[in-house]
Amino acid sequence: MLSAHPQSLSLVLGESQSHRHAPNGITADTNLDCRCVDPYKRSSIVSGHLTNVSSMTTTHVVTRTVHHLHRVMGEVTDAPVYALDAAATREALVELSRHQAQVAELEARLLTHAHTVQAHEADQSKDVKQWWANATGHRHTTGAGRVKLAEGLAAYPDLAAAMAAGDVVAEQARVIINAVNALSPQHRAEGLVEMLTQAKTFDAQALVVLGRKVLEVIDPDAYEAHEQKLLEAEEARAAAKTSLHLWQSEEGFYQGRFTIPALQGAKLKKALMSLAAPAQIRAREGAGAYDYTIPTPQRLGEALCAFIDDKVETDLVVTIDLDTLRDQANRAGWAETGDHFSATALRQAACEAGLIPAVLGSHGRVLDLGHKTRLFTKAQRLALLIERHTCEITGCDTPAHLCHAHHQTPWAHGGTTNVTNARLVCPKHHRDLHQHPNRTPHWRPMRT
């Protein structure tokens, strides 16, 4: 044993062509390679190759295989792939996926063994998943997921064998474990066989759906009660995890993330998808503005804004000076929440949204605290829909049900909130009217 400094040198095993056999299937390498390494690092670089540190004087077949895999992969690090044709590329990618499954199964086996031998205690880690995450540079949540997979594979040897053969990938295995665990103990063996059969044909996403139905195949009589129990459990978990995180970025917009139960999620999805439909987009932005069949994230975000403006009933007090409200100035306004808004946005929102403007005079005194009677009522909007069938800007044929009610004589200038002073305009032209208040709109002649 080398010992220039007992804490700075470690013995690293190298691969040798000659071995002597030791008990218990362990092969001792007679050609040891001693290398100087830093004991506080996970690995050392020797001769351009990454070499894991080990203080063992013998090499197990698993250890040899892991080191061999590393060296073999090192041989193709700089290998060009441009010479591969399409068929060879497809074959290589599929085989790589199978190898990844095999490596993942071996890793799961080792994680289970690490727990058995308390491998984490060497550096005083709390548990195996924490040690593994720290030792490999992964997140702790990733470590928890790997350990959970290892526990599932240990519980279902047939699934582990399929994964070791490369026939089931890790993503599929996780779904199968969850589906089989949800079954009663007397159904699990048969359920596992059915799920392994389906995994030969279907991907992980499809297996999620099939996993919910597996009991219907193996025991139809028990299926309905089982499904009801599953749904109730899922809804209870969703209710417990329901959350909303909302914050304002430095760039002036809001960001957030949320978790809601499936029922409310389905309602929200339907509402947003309908608002993001091409017909709605063209109504807001004009003909030819949107020709995609599937809404993009940007369109769904715009749909959420439309949903908040049209469907969410809340009162927001916004302070704005009188000249700005009358289109005679363009000073920003601010809300009770502390948020600031442009004059154009406030003037447009004052037509439809639940804004209560606190109007200030020249000395900052409150001249008027507005009220929501400036908004058109449902009865007035219904009358407008019956009387006027499209946007009232000449040449626009946007249907009336997609239009906003607009004060022809602005409310801030004394305009009344009645059908006589109302104009139906599509979202695009409504925005134009407030962005360019000095332009004279070309109104469609009123029918008499």
d(CA 128, CA 131): 5
d(CA 100, CA 165): 11
Contact assessment for residue 105 and residue 163, using Cβ atoms and an 8 Å cutoff: yes
Please tell me the least confidently modeled range out of 125-134, 165-174, 259-268, 414-423. Answer: 414-423
Burial class (CB in 10 A: 0-12, 13-18, 19+), 195: buried
Q: Among residues 343, 294, 352, which one has the least CA distance to residue 319?
A: 343
Helix extents (H) in 125-184: 128-136, 140-155, 157-164, 170-181
Residue with tokens 């059915």: 194
Per-residue model confidence as pLDDT tens digits over 147-184: 999 999 999 999 999 999 999 999 999 999 999 998 88
Residue with tokens 């940007």: 298
Give the mean pLDDT of 350-369: 50
Task: Give the highest mean pLDDT range of 59-63, 339-343, 377-381, 434-438.
Answer: 59-63
**Predicted pLDDT of residue 280:** 61
Helix axes 157-164, 185-199, angle to 10 degrees: 20
Q: Where are the beta strands (DSSP E) in 309-408?
A: 316-321, 333-335, 340-341, 355-360, 366-369, 404-407
DSSP symbol at 327: T
Contact assessment for residue 217 and residue 194, using Cβ atoms and an 8 Å cutoff: yes
Which amino acid makes up residue 311?
K
Query: How confident is the prediction for the chain on average, in pLDDT?
Result: 75
Bridge-based pairing of strands 254-259 and 404-407 is: unpaired
As a whole-number percent, the residues of the chain with pLDDT over 90 amount to 25
For 62, residues 6+ apart whose C-beta sits below 8 A from its C-beta are: 106, 110
pTM equals 0.51
**Predicted pLDDT of residue 34:** 36
Per-residue confidence at 400, pLDDT binned at 50, 70, 90? confident
d(CA 318, CA 341): 9
Three-state DSSP class for residue 103: helix
Give the mean pLDDT of 95-108: 95
Q: Indicate whether 8 pLDDT > 50.
A: no
Contact assessment for residue 182 and residue 215, using Cβ atoms and an 8 Å cutoff: no
Kindly report the length of the chain. Answer: 448
Q: Alpha carbon of 333 to those of 205, 302, 306, 308, 330: distances in Å?
A: 48, 22, 21, 20, 9
Task: Give the highest mean pLDDT range of 39-48, 176-185, 356-365, 428-437.
Answer: 176-185
Per-residue model confidence as pLDDT tens digits over 28-60: 343 333 333 333 333 333 333 444 444 444 588
Structure tokens at 268: 């929200």
Task: Give the highest mean pLDDT range of 38-42, 55-59, 89-93, 238-242.
Answer: 89-93
**Predicted pLDDT of residue 155:** 95
**Predicted pLDDT of residue 56:** 45
Q: Indicate whether 23 pLDDT > 60.
A: no
More confident residue, 406 or 199: 199
Q: Among residues 110, 9, 93, which one has the least CA distance to residue 53?
A: 9
More confident residue, 56 or 242: 242
Integer-rounded Cα Rg, in Å, for the chain is: 34
Please tell me the least confidently modeled range out of 15-24, 352-361, 428-437. Answer: 15-24
CA angle 185, 188, 189 (to 5 degrees): 120
Q: Indicate whether 378 pLDDT > 90.
A: no
Q: Indicate whether 90 pLDDT > 90.
A: yes
Please tell me the least confidently modeled range out of 5-14, 57-66, 160-169, 272-281. Answer: 5-14
Three-state DSSP class for residue 402: helix
d(CA 430, CA 348): 7
Helix axes 170-181, 140-155, angle to 10 degrees: 60
Would you list the domain boundaries of the chain?
Answer: 1-79, 246-308, 376-448
